[in-house]
Chains A and B, each alone.
Chain A
Amino acid sequence: MSIAIDTELALLVDTGTAWTKAGVIGRVRGRWRLVAHAAQPTAWGEEELLRRLVEQLAATADARLTGRFGELLARSTRVECRTPARAARLAVVAVSRELSGSSARRAAEAAGWHVTEMVTLDDGLSLAGRVAVLQSAEVDAWLLAGGFDDARSARAFEAAALVAAARRPGGPPVVWAGSNVLAADVIGLFEKGAATAVTNPRPDPRRDEPAELREHLQGLLRRIVGPADEERLTPVALPRAVGALAHATGLRVLAVDIGATTAMRVLADPDGRVESRVHARGGLAGAMLLPGAAGRIVRIDVDAGDEPAVADLLHNLHARPASLPQTSEELAATQAAARLLLASLVEDGVGGPLDLVVGTGRAIAAAPHPGQAMRMLLDGVRPVGVTQMAIDAGGLLGPLGSLTDAEISEGLTLLADDLLVPLGTSVVCRGGDPGRVAMRVTVHRAGWPAHSPVEVRTGQVQVIALPRGQEAELTIEPANGVTLGAARRSPRITATATGGVVGLVLDARGIPIGLPRRADDRRAVVASWRDSLMREAPVGAERVA
């Protein structure tokens, strides 16, 4: 007598511009678990991806299903998200580089646009030069900005006229984000339906209010790059998943993704507020665009090699975004670049303390050592206070976010054990005098004898083993002039730390991280920080640097 064996599988796929990540979810002893995972260059195609997953399933799953995995995957529930294959290009034309231009540009970049042309009336070009630049522009939309609200700025109108002169009738849409009283006149420069007006991000010299412009540009971008299946676009799906995570856990969550070409940050509060920003050129391929990137990388990482080699590497990351660092120098330089990109992603702050920082994308979530992932998140984000750190190692958050709201919540619950890999908890303080104690931290663990407080000096990192699944109560005594972000009423702060594959990290290196001026000292200090985070520590011991 033969018994028919069957199973139910779900295939979660996150297709990036350079790499595709896929996970197979199946029932293991009555629970939904991640049973296979593969990542490969997107250009290798779906057939190869499925072949890899079938190989993994054949090696680990019930032998009675052997030979049927291809068929099972073919009829599995498919949940997927994708990054738009190409970045939408935008020309920004504004009155001033520092005010209207910078506000417009930042809003556009945070909405995921690639600003290919930036023309301002104070850019030093001649009028002919400006018109020539704009007439040669190949863009998907035009963004015009200038003039404060309630003022009829002739200069702002001139900027709009430049675009009217350079744009082909029937060409890409125009967004006016300048003086409100000029809106009707500017819209009248273009054919009917071509231009729309949004709230001025610079209503006066002292206010910068880019939120509405950013939101408008996000919507416009979605219409241009992904008119169908909008909910499957990663810039839409990931914020939905992170929002649901914040709601379900009651935590304030920051998710950061440094991809091959794009970067994204999602900030979600438990009350349902979600803010996301996509930087079309904020991924590793865009690292070469950061000012002085090669020199900065060599300065912050002792293993990255010399500056000319790092400069070459950054160009090659741009030229071949799906390739992998094969040497330790290239890995170190790539991860240092990711730290700079992360810092750039959160440079305008996250509006208060964070409870959980999640690293997604292969640069962080697929780092060979969890200490490297922790180092990228810690150095890049600098989350002041007590923060849980985790990575989305399976690349599941994005695909989950393409489901309905109810299904996302259900997915988060079902995949609780596999969704995020906890790295541990960080305690990051700001301030303090060099070499002096910045904070004393007492760690209370259930079933462990009480230890004397750990003293962390300014400029030091200490790691205390706290395995995954364990919790510890912390009593933190910051020194005078040292803060953990929030105002304190008592000299002692208590907090709960959750464990992870790295542990509890006590970080008194400051914000931004202070580095010694002398090269030899800097190298020694940076190496000690790296070693502290990378060393495997026995439980109960501290790693000090």
Chain B
Amino acid sequence: MTSVVHSVRLPIASTPSVKVGARVQPEDVLATRRPPSDGVTLQVAAALRRPAESASEHLVARPGALLQRGELLARDGRGREVTVPQACLFLGYDPDHGTALLSPLGVEEPIVSHVRGRVTRVTPSTIDVRVAGAVVVGVAGSGAAVHGKLRVAVHDAAEELRAGAIDSDTTGRIVVGGSRASAETLTRARAMGVAGVVLGGVLDKDLRDFEATQARRREVGGAGGDFSIVLLEGYGKIGMDPGVFDWLRRHDGKMVSLFGDDARLYVYDADEPPTRRLLVRAGDRVVGTRRPYAGAGGRLVRILGGLHVVSSGISARSGLVRFEDGRTGIVPLANLEATEVAASG
């Protein structure tokens, strides 16, 4: 069984709550932090009985410092002191009003793992978790980290994910679609509690329409829970690589974690997914990456000698590809990627 390392970056002033070797579940807390809240002012000059413009000379903390509750902020040398009432960031002194600008630390917030695995490294800035499973990296995505069981909701890699495929069985799942999903389908998926969607492609317009709908829902307080989208091939109506689709179908029902903003999908207890090689060779199974063959899988029959002028007028090293959808075309090699099934797969 394969494994991969997932790194969780910790913001400054986080406190790790796991140790190396710990086993974590997606919902487990790896670290906590107290995020700064909105600014408050604290009288310094008045407390020291000094003019506002000169009280800054008595500050003992420098701007930017993290102060704990009761820690000294200013002292006049004659017994008068100013301490901070709660843990905070000291951000500046206003010489007009004689006040310090503080950003109190808020309530403790968890930094959640979102993956299942074993902690292999803990530093002040990063926690690494080794995940028993495989990762599929897409070309784009959006949304926060989510996890759930994988649910393949289309029959083939080129099929569009329709709203009708989203039902109560998909609630809490990561749904695999094919070539695209309309804004309506995405809106329905979110409304039905789908955790995330993995697609070959999506139209930029559909994605923007969906995001606008979600923004409006957030404004009226109607959108709850996280939702993530990952695109594996690109923007537009682009089918998923049939090899990757078949691999996902083999792992239907398994637990997965989806990171939309990072365009990554972790599939637990899975073998290696098909990999991509950029330099193709005659005989390779290939996938097109640009129109009119984006997402189409096929076999590279032969590489043409010299440069070939394609329909755009560009001269490029090209190859003859017999696609699985019945088309045959001459494609620039730069627009092809070879797919390779791992030995264990």
A residues within 8 Å of B by Cβ?
Answer: 40-41, 43-45, 48, 52, 126-128, 131-132, 135-136, 138, 154, 157-158, 160-168, 188-189, 294, 308-309, 311-316, 318-320, 322-328, 330-331, 366, 368-369
CA distance A346 to B37 in the complex (A): 42
What are 24 A-B contacts with C-beta separation under 8 Å? A41-B334, A44-B279, A132-B11, A154-B92, A158-B91, A163-B64, A164-B64, A164-B65, A165-B64, A165-B65, A189-B62, A311-B205, A312-B235, A312-B236, A319-B140, A322-B278, A323-B332, A324-B312, A324-B332, A325-B290, A326-B290, A326-B312, A330-B291, A331-B312
Contact B203 A161 (CB under 8 A): no
The 4 residue pairs across chains A and B that have the minimum distance between CB atoms:
A164-B64, A368-B313, A161-B63, A331-B312
Chain B 329-341, CB-CB to A under 8 Å as 1, else 0, gives: 0011011000000
CA distance A167 to B35 in the complex (A): 14
CA distance A138 to B39 in the complex (A): 24
Chain A residues whose C-beta falls within 8 Å of the C-beta of B124 in the assembled complex: 168
CA distance A45 to B11 in the complex (A): 37
Chain B 98-117, CB-CB to A under 8 Å as 1, else 0, gives: 00010100100000000000
Contact A368 B312 (CB under 8 A): yes
Chain B residues whose C-beta falls within 8 Å of the C-beta of A161 in the assembled complex: 63-64, 90-92
| B13 contacts the other chain (CB 8 A) | yes
Contact B291 A327 (CB under 8 A): yes
Chain A residues whose C-beta falls within 8 Å of the C-beta of B96 in the assembled complex: 154
- How many residues belonging to B are interface residues under a CB distance threshold of 8 Å? 57
Given contacts A135-B11, A168-B12, A316-B290, 12 further A-B contacts (CB under 8 A): A128-B39, A135-B13, A154-B95, A160-B63, A165-B63, A165-B66, A308-B204, A311-B235, A324-B310, A326-B291, A326-B292, A326-B311
A169 to chain B, nearest CB (A): 10
Nearest-CB residue, chain A, relative to B205: A308
B7 to chain A, nearest CB (A): 11
Chain A residues whose C-beta falls within 8 Å of the C-beta of B12 in the assembled complex: 135, 166-168
CA distance A308 to B62 in the complex (A): 52
Chain A residues whose C-beta falls within 8 Å of the C-beta of B201 in the assembled complex: 312
Contact B13 A319 (CB under 8 A): no
Nearest-CB residue, chain B, relative to A48: B279
Nearest-CB residue, chain A, relative to B40: A127
Interface of A (DSSP majority class): helix
Contact B89 A43 (CB under 8 A): no
Interface residues in B160-188 (C-beta closer than 8 Å to A): none
CA distance A41 to B93 in the complex (A): 54
Pick the most buried of A135, A160, A188: most chain B CB atoms within 10 A of its CB. A135
Nearest-CB residue, chain A, relative to B278: A43
Contact B125 A44 (CB under 8 A): no
Chain A residues whose C-beta falls within 8 Å of the C-beta of B89 in the assembled complex: 131, 165
A403 to chain B, nearest CB (A): 29
Interface residues in B1-48 (C-beta closer than 8 Å to A): 9, 11-13, 35-39
CA distance A320 to B12 in the complex (A): 33
- Which of B103, B290, B331 touches A131 (beta carbons < 8 Å)? B103
CA distance A320 to B11 in the complex (A): 31
Nearest-CB residue, chain B, relative to A138: B9
Contact A157 B63 (CB under 8 A): yes
Contact B332 A312 (CB under 8 A): no
| B54 contacts the other chain (CB 8 A) | no
Interface residues in B190-217 (C-beta closer than 8 Å to A): 201, 203-205
Chain B residues whose C-beta falls within 8 Å of the C-beta of A309 in the assembled complex: 236
Chain A residues whose C-beta falls within 8 Å of the C-beta of B236 in the assembled complex: 309, 312-313, 316
CA distance A366 to B314 in the complex (A): 8
| B257 contacts the other chain (CB 8 A) | no
| B228 contacts the other chain (CB 8 A) | no
Chain B residues whose C-beta falls within 8 Å of the C-beta of A44 in the assembled complex: 278-279
| B139 contacts the other chain (CB 8 A) | yes
Chain B residues whose C-beta falls within 8 Å of the C-beta of A40 in the assembled complex: 317, 334
Nearest-CB residue, chain B, relative to A52: B317
Contact A164 B62 (CB under 8 A): yes
User: A368-B312, A368-B314 given as contacts; is B62 within 8 A of A311 (CB)?
Assistant: no
Contact B103 A128 (CB under 8 A): yes
Pick the most buried of B101, B106, B311: most chain A CB atoms within 10 A of its CB. B311
Nearest-CB residue, chain A, relative to B37: A128
A12 to chain B, nearest CB (A): 20
Chain A residues whose C-beta falls within 8 Å of the C-beta of B334 in the assembled complex: 40-41, 322-324
